[in-house]
Amino acid sequence: MTPRVWAVVAFCVLAVALAVTVLVLVPWHRPPAPRADQVAALRSLPADQVAAGKAFHSALRPAGYGSLLLGLAVALVLGLTPLGARLIEAVGRPFGDHWVAQAILGAFAVLLVADLLTLPFAAWRHVVVSRYGLSTQGWSGWTVDLLKGYAVSAVIGVVALLGFYAITHFAPRWWWAWGAAGAATLAVLLSFVLPVLVEPVFNKFTPMAAGPLRTELMQLAETDGVPVRDVLVADASRRTRAVNAYVSGLGPTRRIVVYDTLLREAPPAEVVSVVAHELGHAKDNDVRTGTLVGALGAALAVVSLFLLGGWTGLLRAAGVTSIASPTAFALLVAVVAVAGLVSSPAQALISRRVEARADAHALALTSDPATFEAMQSRLSSVNLGDPDPPRWEYLFGASHPSTVERMAAARAYARGERP
């Protein structure tokens, strides 16, 4: 069989594997709490808290959706016209049009154009979060974190780009197979590396001082059968008032991380409730599931790009002869941007189901629905969440159940209804 026929076979196998993984490992059987309970929960929240959350998100939307639409437009213009290929060729010309220069410097040039054009929207967002008091950063701190993000992305990008285009250069007929394997491997490696190497770039972590709360959190993890190495406190207050906690790492690197803002804003019982939710993700292996889905999705994307490269009209519009050429990077960005936009509602739905399962886990682990509900109200208040967002926005991109959904789930649990 030809490489293209094998690629079609690989595409079908990977698509089936991804579908089966999602169908089996995602908790689809957890419907949202009854709307009547959600309405009752909404009415129980202070009116000024609800108004503040809705006003904040209303102020954020122009910057968020403006950046999304402009970024998509830039990707389409650079990728579906010869402009992107010409930009990459121009950047690579001083280096003799070498494929390495085109692959790395040319790709960075394409991404830099998009980043610079959407940067005003990121600054606009910072203005909004600062005006509403959620951000504690000035412009210098915001800029430093922005540059740190670019630096981390650049390091990962160099590895990914050099690896991908080295494969396409030295294995022009079978690059899709090696590329799919490499993309899947990179997705798995990042799951292990990011918590250990990247998180410290943005936050300082200190062990939580010995005391009743640390003891209770460690005992909670032991009761749940989730071994953790330590409980750390992140200095989130240097950039935000938002409260949060999470369980980071896999295996021997796993630790409970609590924002210092959460310790200041919430009583210990609510901190325990938040951590119980995060332990639910570890208990149900949500990180491993996400890693598996990401690895399969990355491999499927590479094979899809190879098959898409047979569409001569698309290549002609982009001004390239092969989708595997470094000069076609802008076209890849355009394809990924469209695919990401189209798949966003499905990704959000999967995330909401997983988060709802973690909520149910927290309720069962603590057997304290009153504290869970109080904690959800506090999270919404301090983080300026919209407790009941517009339906279209919720369906398009909400990664968590709404505040009123989570409060209603606690009320259902208190009545003896077990999800």
pLDDT for res 417: 76
The catalytic site residues sit at: 278, 359
Prediction pTM value:
0.92
Answer yes or no: are the C-beta atoms of 56 and 384 closer than 8 Å.
yes
Neighbouring CB atoms inside 10 A of 255's CB total 18
pLDDT in tens, 336-378: 999 999 999 999 999 999 999 999 999 999 999 999 999 999 9
**Chain centroid to CA 377: how far?**
24
Q: Are 125 and 60 in contact (CB under 8 A)?
A: yes
Specify the pLDDT at position 164: 95
The string of pLDDT tens digits covering residues 93-117 is 999 999 999 999 999 999 999 999 9
Distance, in Å, from the CA atom of 49 to the CA atom of 133, rounded to the nearest integer, reads 14
- What pLDDT is recorded for position 415? 87
CA atoms within 13 A on the CB side of 367: 2
Predicted confidence (pLDDT) at residue 419 exceeds the cutoff of 70? no
CA 36 to chain centre: 31
For the annotated binding site for Zn(2+), the residues are: 277, 281, 355
Confidence of residue 59 (pLDDT cuts 50, 70, 90): very high
Q: What is the pLDDT of residue 402?
A: 95
- Which of 35 and 52 is assigned the larger pLDDT? 52
Question: What pLDDT band is residue 310 in, cutting at 50, 70 and 90?
Answer: confident
Q: Which domains, and CATH codes, for the chain?
A: 3-202+285-414 (no CATH), 204-284 (3.30.2010.10)
The binding site comprises: 277, 281, 355
Whether 160 and 186 have beta carbons less than 8 Å apart is answered as yes
pLDDT tens, residue by residue, 201-251: 888 999 999 999 999 999 999 999 999 999 999 999 999 999 999 998 777
**For residue 253, what pLDDT is reported?**
73
Enumerate residues 6+ apart whose C-beta is below 8 A from 35: none
Give per-residue pLDDT as tens, 147-204. 999 999 999 999 999 999 999 999 999 999 999 999 999 999 888 777 777 788 888 9
Q: Residue 414, Cα to own-chain centre: how many angstroms? A: 32
Q: Write down how long the chain is.
A: 419
**Does 418 have pLDDT greater than 70?**
no
Which of the four pLDDT bands, split at 50, 70 and 90, describes residue 302? very high
Q: Return the amino acid letter for 310.
A: G
